[in-house]
Structure 1
Amino acid sequence: MTKLFEKLMSFDEYRALGDRAVADGLWRNDRRVFLPGVGWFNDWYLDRDLDRDFLPPHYYRDWAGKRLPIELVCPDGNIWCADSARCRPPFRNDLAHRSDLISPTIPR
């Protein structure tokens, strides 16, 4: 089971880690550096979403102004933007989106 790192990196920390990977002769987003469970805030999604179709309406309603969009490295090594309107989690047995598992006391 993949363990999430305890802290999401800022986008500047993510870039610095990618720059260090390049300096070490690796790819900027090398899977040997960005291991499953690593996550970061990605501020450039806000610039990319000029027509507001990349990020979903609930991001703008609930999270815009509170936090930047989040990206995570999945167990298979692929990068997933958790806030993308078009992207479901790229792994199977996704329990996070099953409505029957959401507590009725938590507001949706």
Structure 2
Amino acid sequence: MTICFFNSHKAWGGGEKWHFDMATCLQDKGYQVHFITSRKSVLLSKLDKTGIKLKTICISNLSFLNPYKVFRVRKYLKKNQIQTLIINLPSDLKIAGTAAKLAGVKKVFYRRGSAI
């Protein structure tokens, strides 16, 4: 199974830790794991040492309105035959959810923590 995590948050927090832990755990269990994240993010620097396939992208809250950005994400998902996509933020959901639908990704999960 090919799984892709999508987390564009630049700072490190609970959601980023969860995504990092799950991605590395699934990779250790033999899953093919990909990760799409922001350039200059703390998460990218941590993932860089894991061997997980990485793609960087610059995302804002309105990126879903940019057809080029949606197409780039769609192209990556389709090219790598992603079967499951796990998304973190509302802005990520808007662009990655649309791209996943266009790419034919079978399972899309929006995993959001609560600030308690």
TM-score by length of 1: 0.28
When you count strand as a share of all residues, which structure comes out higher?
Answer: 2
TM-score by length of 2: 0.26
When you count helix as a share of all residues, which structure comes out higher?
Answer: 2
**Largest Rg, 1 or 2:** 1
